[in-house]
Amino acid sequence: MPVQLSFPSDGDNDGASDSDSDGPGAAAARITGRAVHGERRLSGSLAEVGLDGGQLVMVKRGDDPGAMQAEAAGLRWLADAGTVRVPNVHGHDRRWLVTDVVEQGPPTARTAMRFGRELAALHAAGAPAFGAPPPGGPVDAYIGLAPMRNVPGTDWPRWYAEHRVLPYLRAAVDRGTIRPAETAVIERICARLSELAGPAEPPARLHGDLWNGNVLWGADGDAWLIDPAAHGGHRETDLAMLQLFGCPHLAHVLDGYQQAAPLADGWADRVALHQLFPLLVHAVLFGRSYAEQALAVARAALAE
């Protein structure tokens, strides 16, 4: 049976700690043990903080306990592959994460080709199972603002249905974003996944939330990955998310990937199948327009 996801209600507070009242500067000083010289707020949850010696760090606040632990573990697991670059993690606690700042530049075709090759190598670094969490990370992790439970499995079609599609379909129905009468098309996808999924593949080491905003084009000419929802999964899922939300020089990214690790025949026909998961997550978080897209890609996948 698919797992039940627990979405926090507005204003939910699991008990405050001393770190909850920190600002980003105080959190950076406490976590790094270094003096702070100024901070610049980028959003409600992000700030750049200057440390003693002139180094800039990125300080991120997470409202849900475990979110920063999951992100830190994911960044370290991706870094361990030695492929796509990720910011160094300076430390974290239950509310705060401190990483290096990535100096950004313009995306180029050359960087995109290299990113595609490096992404293929990241996926090839593998994972112990589908749904395997990064070492040191919690089982109850997150994709963006949504909870994401990492339950290991060996059969990708069954695992994808039970732990990535159906929990978010149920949550979308509970929130009134998808009507009960509309669930049948997505349930049919789940019932037919074994025939729609293509050739079996080993578990890949996924970024897990690979939309364009989580790919930074560095001033150093490298692509960098941030904000992972890392886990063991199917490599086509990362690529489908890049296509769903757009990516500069996407054709070059895909060319580089195919040169390094050619995708199985029919992969382009399976893009909609892999986009179903992130679209259902967005339907839960952001409303009806994403629900309509999820239903549309489900119909398209069944029509292939």
246 pLDDT band (50/70/90 cuts)? confident
Task: Write out pLDDT tens, residues 279-297.
Answer: 999 999 999 999 999 999 9
For residue 207, the domain's CATH number is 3.90.1200.10
Domain-located, residue 97: no
Examine the pLDDT at 2 and tell me if it is beyond 80: no
Domain-located, residue 288: yes
Number of domains comprising the chain = 1
pLDDT for 115 equals 98
Examine the pLDDT at 11 and tell me if it is beyond 70: no
What is the C-alpha separation between 5 and 16, in angstroms, rounded?
23
Domain-located, residue 33: no
Domain-located, residue 30: no
Q: What is the mean pLDDT of the chain?
A: 92
What is the C-alpha separation between 58 and 85, in angstroms, rounded?
16
Domain-located, residue 87: no
Examine the pLDDT at 204 and tell me if it is beyond 80: yes
Domain-located, residue 1: no
Domain-located, residue 59: no
Task: Write out pLDDT tens, residues 108-164.
Answer: 999 999 999 999 999 999 999 999 999 998 998 999 889 999 999 999 999 999 999
Share of the chain above pLDDT 90, in %: 85
For residue 132, give its domain range: 102-303
pLDDT for 169 equals 97
Domain-located, residue 8: no
Task: Write out pLDDT tens, residues 80-110.
Answer: 999 999 999 999 999 999 999 999 999 999 9
In terms of C-beta distances under 8 Å and separation of at least 24 residues, what long-range contacts does 150-154 make, across chains too?
150/231, 151/3, 152/128, 152/232, 153/129, 154/129, 154/130
pLDDT for 144 equals 87
Share of the chain above pLDDT 70, in %: 93
pLDDT for 145 equals 87
Task: Write out pLDDT tens, residues 59-71.
Answer: 999 988 789 999 9
Examine the pLDDT at 215 and tell me if it is beyond 60: yes
pLDDT for 19 equals 56
pLDDT for 13 equals 37
Give the strand pairing for 96-100 and 89-92.
Answer: antiparallel
CB atoms within 10 A of CB 222: 16
Examine the pLDDT at 4 and tell me if it is beyond 60: no
DSSP tag of 197: S
